[in-house]
Amino acid sequence: MKRLTPTERTTLKRLPKRGVYDLAGIYPILDEGFICHVGFAIDGRPYVIPTGYARAGDLLFIHGSAASRMLRALSGGIEVCVSVTLVDGIVLARSAFHSSMNYRSVVIFGVASLIEDPGRKLEALTALSEHIIPGRWDEVRKPTESEMQATTVLAVPLHEASAKVRTGPPIDDEEDYELEVWAGELPLSLVTRPPIVDESGRQGIPPPSYVLNYKR
Protein backbone atom coordinates (compact mmCIF):
# COMPACT_ATOMS: atom_id res chain seq x y z
CA MET A 1 0.00 0.00 0.00
CA LYS A 2 1.12 3.54 -0.68
CA ARG A 3 2.22 6.17 1.80
CA LEU A 4 0.24 9.41 1.97
CA THR A 5 2.24 12.60 1.59
CA PRO A 6 2.04 14.51 4.89
CA THR A 7 0.47 17.96 4.58
CA GLU A 8 0.60 20.92 6.92
CA ARG A 9 -2.64 19.68 8.49
CA THR A 10 -1.73 16.00 8.81
CA THR A 11 1.90 16.34 9.91
CA LEU A 12 2.24 15.49 13.61
CA LYS A 13 4.09 18.27 15.36
CA ARG A 14 3.91 16.87 18.88
CA LEU A 15 5.48 13.41 19.31
CA PRO A 16 6.00 13.01 15.55
CA LYS A 17 7.41 9.49 16.04
CA ARG A 18 3.83 8.35 16.72
CA GLY A 19 2.69 9.51 13.30
CA VAL A 20 1.61 6.97 10.69
CA TYR A 21 1.15 7.94 7.03
CA ASP A 22 1.11 4.50 5.39
CA LEU A 23 -2.31 3.31 4.28
CA ALA A 24 -1.33 -0.12 5.61
CA GLY A 25 -1.40 1.48 9.08
CA ILE A 26 -4.38 3.79 8.54
CA TYR A 27 -6.87 1.41 6.94
CA PRO A 28 -6.90 -1.22 9.75
CA ILE A 29 -7.81 1.47 12.30
CA LEU A 30 -10.72 2.66 10.17
CA ASP A 31 -11.81 -0.92 9.53
CA GLU A 32 -11.90 -1.80 13.22
CA GLY A 33 -13.87 1.22 14.40
CA PHE A 34 -17.40 2.12 13.38
CA ILE A 35 -18.07 5.51 14.98
CA CYS A 36 -16.40 8.67 13.69
CA HIS A 37 -16.67 12.31 14.70
CA VAL A 38 -17.34 14.75 11.88
CA GLY A 39 -16.12 18.31 12.40
CA PHE A 40 -17.23 21.24 10.25
CA ALA A 41 -18.19 24.91 10.51
CA ILE A 42 -21.39 26.68 9.45
CA ASP A 43 -21.56 30.48 9.53
CA GLY A 44 -18.37 30.56 11.57
CA ARG A 45 -19.70 28.21 14.24
CA PRO A 46 -17.99 24.83 14.81
CA TYR A 47 -19.84 21.54 15.09
CA VAL A 48 -18.67 18.00 15.83
CA ILE A 49 -21.18 15.21 15.20
CA PRO A 50 -20.67 11.50 15.96
CA THR A 51 -21.96 9.10 13.29
CA GLY A 52 -21.43 5.66 11.83
CA TYR A 53 -19.15 5.16 8.86
CA ALA A 54 -17.60 2.58 6.55
CA ARG A 55 -14.48 2.47 4.42
CA ALA A 56 -14.49 1.12 0.88
CA GLY A 57 -11.19 1.47 -0.93
CA ASP A 58 -9.97 5.05 -0.58
CA LEU A 59 -13.40 6.43 0.37
CA LEU A 60 -15.06 6.88 3.75
CA PHE A 61 -18.87 6.72 3.61
CA ILE A 62 -21.18 8.49 6.04
CA HIS A 63 -24.95 8.62 5.79
CA GLY A 64 -28.12 9.80 7.46
CA SER A 65 -31.42 11.54 6.95
CA ALA A 66 -31.74 13.79 3.92
CA ALA A 67 -33.00 16.41 6.38
CA SER A 68 -29.75 16.28 8.38
CA ARG A 69 -28.22 19.72 8.74
CA MET A 70 -24.74 18.21 8.79
CA LEU A 71 -25.21 16.22 5.59
CA ARG A 72 -26.88 19.11 3.79
CA ALA A 73 -24.01 21.38 4.77
CA LEU A 74 -21.33 18.90 3.74
CA SER A 75 -23.10 18.29 0.43
CA GLY A 76 -22.44 21.95 -0.34
CA GLY A 77 -18.70 21.34 -0.57
CA ILE A 78 -17.46 22.76 2.74
CA GLU A 79 -14.29 21.50 4.40
CA VAL A 80 -14.69 18.58 6.76
CA CYS A 81 -12.48 16.94 9.38
CA VAL A 82 -13.26 13.34 10.35
CA SER A 83 -11.65 11.55 13.29
CA VAL A 84 -11.73 7.96 14.52
CA THR A 85 -10.19 6.84 17.82
CA LEU A 86 -9.71 3.38 19.32
CA VAL A 87 -8.66 3.20 22.97
CA ASP A 88 -6.56 0.10 23.69
CA GLY A 89 -5.70 0.71 27.31
CA ILE A 90 -4.90 3.03 30.18
CA VAL A 91 -1.21 3.61 30.86
CA LEU A 92 -0.54 4.03 34.58
CA ALA A 93 2.75 5.80 35.14
CA ARG A 94 4.41 6.50 38.47
CA SER A 95 3.70 10.18 38.01
CA ALA A 96 0.48 11.92 37.04
CA PHE A 97 2.33 13.82 34.31
CA HIS A 98 3.43 10.71 32.42
CA SER A 99 0.17 8.76 32.81
CA SER A 100 -1.44 8.25 29.43
CA MET A 101 -3.47 5.93 27.19
CA ASN A 102 -2.62 3.48 24.47
CA TYR A 103 -4.65 4.37 21.42
CA ARG A 104 -4.89 4.35 17.64
CA SER A 105 -6.45 7.33 15.92
CA VAL A 106 -6.97 8.65 12.40
CA VAL A 107 -7.73 12.21 11.30
CA ILE A 108 -8.98 12.89 7.77
CA PHE A 109 -9.33 16.26 6.04
CA GLY A 110 -11.18 16.92 2.81
CA VAL A 111 -14.41 17.76 1.05
CA ALA A 112 -17.27 15.27 0.98
CA SER A 113 -19.09 14.45 -2.25
CA LEU A 114 -22.76 13.51 -2.55
CA ILE A 115 -23.46 10.05 -3.96
CA GLU A 116 -26.51 10.40 -6.20
CA ASP A 117 -26.26 7.43 -8.55
CA PRO A 118 -28.75 4.82 -7.18
CA GLY A 119 -26.41 1.91 -7.82
CA ARG A 120 -23.43 3.52 -6.09
CA LYS A 121 -25.68 4.69 -3.27
CA LEU A 122 -26.95 1.16 -2.65
CA GLU A 123 -23.37 -0.15 -2.72
CA ALA A 124 -22.37 2.44 -0.12
CA LEU A 125 -25.32 1.56 2.13
CA THR A 126 -24.41 -2.11 1.79
CA ALA A 127 -20.84 -1.29 2.82
CA LEU A 128 -22.10 0.67 5.84
CA SER A 129 -24.28 -2.22 6.99
CA GLU A 130 -21.62 -4.85 6.41
CA HIS A 131 -18.97 -2.78 8.16
CA ILE A 132 -21.02 -2.49 11.35
CA ILE A 133 -22.37 -6.05 11.41
CA PRO A 134 -21.21 -8.36 8.61
CA GLY A 135 -23.88 -10.69 7.24
CA ARG A 136 -26.87 -8.57 8.21
CA TRP A 137 -27.50 -6.98 4.80
CA ASP A 138 -28.36 -10.31 3.17
CA GLU A 139 -31.16 -10.97 5.67
CA VAL A 140 -32.92 -7.64 6.18
CA ARG A 141 -35.49 -6.00 3.90
CA LYS A 142 -33.70 -3.75 1.45
CA PRO A 143 -34.49 0.02 1.30
CA THR A 144 -37.51 1.09 -0.71
CA GLU A 145 -37.26 3.87 -3.28
CA SER A 146 -38.76 6.37 -0.83
CA GLU A 147 -36.32 5.26 1.90
CA MET A 148 -33.45 5.70 -0.53
CA GLN A 149 -34.63 9.22 -1.33
CA ALA A 150 -34.89 10.00 2.38
CA THR A 151 -31.27 8.94 2.91
CA THR A 152 -28.18 10.96 2.07
CA VAL A 153 -24.85 9.24 1.51
CA LEU A 154 -21.57 11.15 1.34
CA ALA A 155 -18.07 10.02 0.43
CA VAL A 156 -14.94 11.54 1.95
CA PRO A 157 -11.72 10.75 0.02
CA LEU A 158 -8.85 9.33 2.05
CA HIS A 159 -6.25 11.49 0.36
CA GLU A 160 -5.26 13.78 3.24
CA ALA A 161 -5.03 11.76 6.42
CA SER A 162 -2.69 10.54 9.12
CA ALA A 163 -2.79 8.21 12.09
CA LYS A 164 -1.33 8.59 15.56
CA VAL A 165 -0.55 5.53 17.65
CA ARG A 166 0.72 4.96 21.18
CA THR A 167 1.61 1.49 22.45
CA GLY A 168 3.61 0.04 25.29
CA PRO A 169 4.29 0.66 28.97
CA PRO A 170 4.61 3.97 30.80
CA ILE A 171 7.73 6.06 30.32
CA ASP A 172 8.66 7.64 33.61
CA ASP A 173 11.39 10.02 34.69
CA GLU A 174 14.43 8.03 35.74
CA GLU A 175 14.20 9.03 39.40
CA ASP A 176 10.53 7.95 39.58
CA TYR A 177 11.25 4.27 38.87
CA GLU A 178 12.18 3.83 42.53
CA LEU A 179 8.84 5.15 43.80
CA GLU A 180 6.63 2.68 45.66
CA VAL A 181 3.81 3.13 43.14
CA TRP A 182 2.34 0.40 40.93
CA ALA A 183 2.78 1.15 37.24
CA GLY A 184 1.80 -0.65 34.08
CA GLU A 185 -0.91 -1.02 31.48
CA LEU A 186 -4.63 -1.69 31.91
CA PRO A 187 -5.76 -3.17 28.56
CA LEU A 188 -9.26 -2.31 27.37
CA SER A 189 -11.40 -3.91 24.67
CA LEU A 190 -14.91 -3.79 23.27
CA VAL A 191 -16.90 -6.71 24.71
CA THR A 192 -20.10 -8.10 23.18
CA ARG A 193 -22.84 -8.96 25.69
CA PRO A 194 -25.59 -11.55 25.09
CA PRO A 195 -28.16 -10.39 22.50
CA ILE A 196 -31.58 -9.15 23.65
CA VAL A 197 -34.50 -10.18 21.44
CA ASP A 198 -37.06 -7.62 20.27
CA GLU A 199 -40.40 -8.92 21.59
CA SER A 200 -42.52 -6.80 19.24
CA GLY A 201 -42.49 -9.17 16.26
CA ARG A 202 -42.43 -12.89 15.54
CA GLN A 203 -40.88 -14.93 18.30
CA GLY A 204 -38.85 -18.13 18.25
CA ILE A 205 -36.36 -16.94 15.64
CA PRO A 206 -32.88 -17.94 16.85
CA PRO A 207 -30.15 -15.28 16.75
CA PRO A 208 -27.95 -15.70 13.65
CA SER A 209 -24.34 -16.72 14.03
CA TYR A 210 -23.10 -13.23 13.10
CA VAL A 211 -24.93 -11.93 16.19
CA LEU A 212 -23.85 -14.71 18.55
CA ASN A 213 -20.23 -14.54 17.41
CA TYR A 214 -19.98 -10.77 16.92
CA LYS A 215 -16.69 -9.13 17.81
CA ARG A 216 -14.42 -6.38 16.54
pLDDT in tens, the chain (216 residues): 799 999 999 998 888 889 999 999 999 999 999 999 999 999 999 999 999 999 999 999 999 999 999 999 999 999 999 999 999 999 999 999 999 999 999 999 999 999 999 999 999 999 999 999 999 999 999 999 999 999 999 999 999 999 999 999 999 999 999 999 999 999 999 999 999 999 998 899 999 999 999 998
CB 89 within 8 A of CB 73: no
SS3 184: strand
> What is the model's pLDDT at position 103?
98
Burial 66-77 (b: 16+ CB within 10 A, else e): eebebbebbbee
> What is the model's pLDDT at position 67?
92
> What is the model's pLDDT at position 182?
98
The DSSP secondary-structure symbol of 122 reads H
CATH of domain 16-173+183-212: 2.30.110.10
> What is the model's pLDDT at position 187?
98
CA–CA distance, 163 with 83 (Å, rounded to integer): 10
CB 81 within 8 A of CB 40: yes
Domain positions in the chain are: 16-173+183-212
The amino acid occupying position 49 is I
> What is the model's pLDDT at position 134?
96
